[in-house]
């Protein structure tokens, strides 16, 4: 059974209590987080989350939600093991506990209408632990809230590219394209009539005239496209017309300029990429060497042999018979 933090009836009963507990932890750099960076402050963050949830929402409701969380976790454990990415070296159930506690704190932040640095920290922590716990629904919710909060607070959008990577892995291509345009293209100003009396064919023009005024763009672009090299390279590697499993493998293994969280999230697509690469191997070759199959499937030699056996294929003298 996963660790369950004890209830504290003397926990802070306001957001300020959780805020002060959070500020006592060192933030460190916002970039360069590895998969387990920041876990040293996990216990303090969990105490802050537990205290806020118990004090601000009521102990009885907190107990009931804990029961629901425990049932959700048992259902997920009963469904079978997940395909863990090898970058994740900590115990996944522990991350799931933190993800659920941070969800409660996120709900409190939204309910209180906070859009300050503490609120951004809560959403960023939610994103980080959701990636490590492989919790897609919580990651989706946290990312959409975080990107909107970046636009309001004008803070450095450190984790905004993760929303694009998430859409590459989980969403139709059109959804990724819409998110990319919203994140990189500034809204265009509009010319509108000053009142109903001023509506005319002339007021529909973008040219200035006495009956119109300009509505400025609500905010600047979230990020310049030039700063999203990893995302655009991943999109090119995954696109049907430019599909490249070798480039995909290089992105999740060797790219030195991006955060580990982006590589870890992109690695969620590895099983689907492997299936697409295998289909192309079968169409293009009658047989291939284990080494070439390993490069295309991003598997070691032993992994290729296991894959071939699972697919009902023969391996003879280091060659995989595809037909």
Assess if residue 235 is contained within a domain.
Answer: no
- Domain of 191, in residue numbers: 186-220
What pLDDT score does 191 carry? 59
Tell me how far apart the alpha carbons of residues 308 and 320 are, in angstroms, rounded to a whole number: 7
Closest of 62, 57, 47, 65 to residue 11, by C-alpha? 47
Do 24 and 79 fall into the same domain? yes
The pLDDT value recorded for residue 162 is 93
The pLDDT tens digits along the chain (323 residues) read 444 444 433 443 444 444 443 444 433 333 333 333 333 344 444 444 444 444 444 444 334 444 444 544 444 444 333 343 444 444 566 888 889 999 999 999 999 998 899 999 999 999 999 998 999 999 999 999 998 888 888 888 889 999 999 999 999 999 999 999 888 887 666 655 555 444 455 545 555 555 555 655 555 557 788 889 999 999 999 999 999 999 999 998 876 666 788 999 999 999 999 999 999 998 988 888 999 998 999 898 888 889 988 888 888 888 888 88
Output the pLDDT for position 31: 39
Domain for residue 163, yes or no? no
Same domain, 21 and 146: yes
- In this structure, the answer to whether residues 23 and 148 fall within a common structural domain is yes
For the chain, the maximum distance between any two Cα atoms, rounded to a whole number of angstroms, is 84
Q: Is 226 exposed, middle or buried (0-12, 13-18, 19+ CB in 10 A)?
A: exposed
Does 96 lie in the same domain as 215?
Answer: no
DSSP state of 105: H
25/152 same-domain check: yes
Q: How many residues does the chain have?
A: 323
Same domain assignment for residues 216 and 251? no
Task: Tell whether 113 and 69 lie within a shared domain.
Answer: yes
The dihedral sign for the CA sequence 258, 262, 264, 266: negative
Domain end (from 158, 176, 205): 158
Task: Encode burial over 158-182: b for 16+ CB neighbours within 10 A, e otherwise.
Answer: bbbbbbbbbbbbeeeeeebeebbee
pLDDT for 268 equals 94
Cα separation, 122 vs 127, whole angstroms:
9
For residue 196, tell me if it sits in a domain.
yes
For residues 252 and 314, membership in a common domain is answered with yes
Judge if 31 and 122 occupy the same domain.
yes
Shared domain for 250 and 127, answered yes or no, is no
Global pTM value: 0.64
Residues 213 and 145 in one domain: no
Identify the helix (H) or strand (E) that includes residue 213.
strand 212-215
In a domain? residue 65: yes
Report pLDDT for 163. Answer: 93
Instruction: Decide if 32 is inside a domain.
Output: yes
Phi, psi for residue 10 in degrees, rounded to 5: -100, 15
Is residue 6, in this structure, part of any structural domain at all? no
- 45, part of any domain: yes
Q: Is residue 166 part of a domain?
A: no
State how many domains the chain has: 3
In this structure, what CATH number is given to the domain that contains residue 287? 1.10.10
Q: 215 and 247: one domain? A: no
């Amino acid at each position: 059974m996963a660790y369950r933090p004890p209830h504290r009836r003397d926990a802070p009963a306001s957001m300020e209590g959780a805020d002060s507990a959070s500020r006592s932890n060192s933030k460190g750099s916002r970039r360069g987080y590895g998969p387990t960076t920041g876990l040293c402050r996990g216990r303090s963050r969990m105490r802050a989350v537990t205290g806020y949830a118990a004090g601000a929402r009521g102990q009885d409701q907190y107990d009931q939600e804990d029961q629901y969380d425990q049932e959700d976790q048992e259902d997920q454990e009963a469904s079978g093991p997940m395909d863990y990415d090898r970058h994740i070296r900590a115990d996944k159930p522990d991350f799931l506990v933190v993800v659920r506690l941070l969800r409660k704190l996120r709900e409190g932040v939204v309910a209180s209408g906070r859009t300050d640095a503490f609120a951004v920290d809560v959403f960023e922590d939610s994103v980080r632990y959701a990636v490590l716990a492989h919790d897609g629904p919580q990651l989706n919710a946290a990312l959409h809230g975080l990107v909107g909060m970046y636009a309001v607070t004008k803070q450095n959008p450190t984790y905004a590219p993760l929303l694009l990577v998430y859409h590459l892995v989980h969403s139709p291509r059109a959804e990724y394209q819409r998110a990319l345009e919203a994140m990189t293209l500034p809204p265009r100003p509009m010319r509108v009539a000053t009142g109903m009396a001023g509506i005319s064919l002339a007021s529909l023009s973008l040219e200035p005239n006495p009956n119109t005024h300009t509505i400025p763009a609500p905010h600047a672009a979230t990020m310049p496209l030039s700063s999203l090299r990893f995302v655009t390279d991943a999109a090119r590697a995954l696109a049907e017309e430019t599909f490249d499993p070798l480039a995909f493998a290089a992105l999740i293994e060797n790219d030195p300029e991006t955060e580990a969280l982006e590589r870890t999230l992109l690695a969620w697509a590895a099983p689907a990429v492997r299936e697409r690469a295998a289909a192309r191997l079968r169409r293009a070759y009658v047989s291939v060497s284990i080494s070439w199959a390993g490069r295309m499937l991003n598997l070691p030699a032993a992994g290729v042999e296991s894959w071939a056996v699972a697919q009902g294929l023969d391996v003879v003298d280091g060659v995989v018979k595809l037909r």
